[in-house]
Amino acid sequence: MTLASTLLWGVAHLAAERRRTGLALMVAHVLMLAGVLTVFTAFSVDLLSLAVQPRWLIVLTVALVVIALAWTGVIVWSFLLVRPPRSDTVGRLLTTTLTIALCALVLAPTAYGARLAYVSRDVVNSLFSTTSSTPVVAEDPWSGAERVNFLLVGADAAPGRPGVRTDSMTVASVDTETGATTLFGLPRNLEQVRFPAGPARDRFPGGFTGSVPDTPGLLNEVFQYAEDHPDMVPGVQKGKRGPALLKQTIGDILGLPVNYYAMVDMKGFAELVDAMGGVKVTIEDPIVYGRSREGLLPPGTRKLTGEQALWYGRSRTDSDDYVRMGRQKCLLNAVAKQADPMTVLNSFERLAAATKRAISTDLPQELLPAAVDLAQRVKDTRIRSLSFVPPLINTAYPDWSQIRRKVSEALSHRPSTRSATAGRPRSPERTPEAPVSLDATCR
């Protein structure tokens, strides 16, 4: 009877001839289960948005605890009504043990769920600021923008080289209505980078030259140079100067407003891969492994550890920057595909800890629900990619007008038209036939 009451509240009460209480418990249990099933089926997409909002994570935790305590209370109450008489010592021992086990069966998942909610809340509060430069309107969180542009940065540091170098820089331009996405990859060795109007351009009117003669003045040095020279971005605090100038610079190069950035530290990326149990990739050509060429990643499909994945995306031995850029895109694509819900749940706390150490961003908490919704649309579309590497672009003498023209052509190629109710006019120069180069397909 206690076991039956665990599965359907009120069974033991009916057996004990407490019909009103038993029926009331049954109705309450059925309504509760119906509500939970409705939430997890009809509103599954909305749950993803709620999962990145700290206040709703608190509500979820409280709701889980209340349900678990109520369920445990019903189990104990049911047992007290139908337990064997005192004379039946063996029966009492067995049924008491069963009741304790049933209570644990209910409380353990609740404790785990509450723990996940707490860790999620901690990650959200650690990574995302609570203040937004512009108010977020629920009906249109992107403030009427046709596209939102995210700068995705892979940062690396090396022995004997001070500071951080942004060796991987990609702008993801996402259609806010359809989710259609185009990636624009910029090589780290782009020279004579022009800065947007302001103090940075005043210091380098002919293009960025770095700290002569210590550095060559490449695009991947802009981030650290801004951090080391406050006058390049006046009024911006340390830790934010680099992202601010890099966003402005890359936005000016592409002719796009870069709205937000996310930076992944490469060592932290290795921790993320280890936390999810490795990542499976197909290696086309042998890749030298380690700084002293002590190893080799042979061709074939294999699961890489975090350190091996780091070298897969970092190595330039017997190749070049542009081959490496392609491997980095393949690696990120593989990680995204293989980070399925079961993998994430099994390694959630390790992934959360690695995420806090590896990732920084200026995306505000207020936009997280909209970003989750946008990500779901992106998953349903084909992601196009254009990299500004030779022979398309001469990295020593870049043709800035050509880069902007190629960006405009790429964004004019739309796989589907926007709805008539969107109310967003297209630029007259955009034509559906505009070409866009695509990177090699990853396997």
Let me know: does 279 contact 307? Beta carbons within 8 Å: no
Q: Where are the domains of the chain?
A: 2-127, 147-186+260-415
Whole-angstrom distance, CA of residue 151 vs CA of residue 184: 9
- pLDDT mean across residues, the chain: 83
DSSP string of 86-143, one letter each residue:
TT-HHHHHHHHHHHHHHHHHHHHHHHHHHHHHHHHHHHHHHHS-S--SSPPPTT-TTT
First to last CA, the chain: 55
Q: Which of 238-242, 396-400, 410-414 has the lowest mean pLDDT?
A: 410-414
Cα 24 to its chain centre, rounded Å, is 44
Pairing state between β 181-186 and 383-387: parallel
In the sheet that holds 359-361, the strands lie side by side as 359-361, 260-265, 147-158, 161-175, 181-186, 383-387
Residue predicted with more confidence, 441 or 292: 292
- Over residues 200-211, the pLDDT tens digits come to 999 999 999 988
Please report the pLDDT score of residue 285 as a whole number.
Answer: 82
Q: Is 426 helix (H, G, I), strand (E, B) or coil?
A: coil
Residues above pLDDT 90, as percent of the chain: 40
User: In which band, very low, low, confident or very high, does the pLDDT at 45 lie, cut at 50, 70 and 90?
Assistant: low
What token pair was written down for 338? 């293989």
Let me know: does 403 contact 393? Beta carbons within 8 Å: yes
Distances (CA, A) of 188 to 72, 244, 262, 283: 59, 17, 17, 23
- Over residues 303-326, the pLDDT tens digits come to 998 888 888 887 877 677 777 777
Q: Residues 440, 441, 442, 443: what is their CA dihedral angle, to the nearest 10 degrees?
A: -130
Q: Which of 55-69, 179-193, 251-265, 369-383 has the lowest mean pLDDT?
A: 369-383
Whole-angstrom distance, CA of residue 18 vs CA of residue 10: 9
Let me know: does 356 contact 123? Beta carbons within 8 Å: yes
Let me know: does 124 contact 365? Beta carbons within 8 Å: yes
Residue 93, pLDDT > 80, answer yes
391: cis peptide before it, omega within 30°? Answer: yes
What token pair was written down for 205? 């009117």
β-pair partners for 296: 288
| pTM (global) more than 0.85 | no
Q: Is 58 helix (H, G, I), strand (E, B) or coil?
A: helix
What token pair was written down for 339? 């980070």
**Measured at the alpha carbon of residue 44, what is the angle toward residues 330 and 37, in degrees to the nearest 5?**
140
> Residue 94: what residue type?
L
Let me know: does 19 contact 26? Beta carbons within 8 Å: no
Q: Is 352 helix (H, G, I), strand (E, B) or coil?
A: helix
Residues above pLDDT 70, as percent of the chain: 86
Top CATH class, 147-186+260-415: alpha beta
CB within 8 A of 249, min separation 6: which ones?
A: 193, 194, 195, 196, 200, 219, 222
- Over residues 334-362, the pLDDT tens digits come to 887 777 666 776 777 888 888 888 889 99
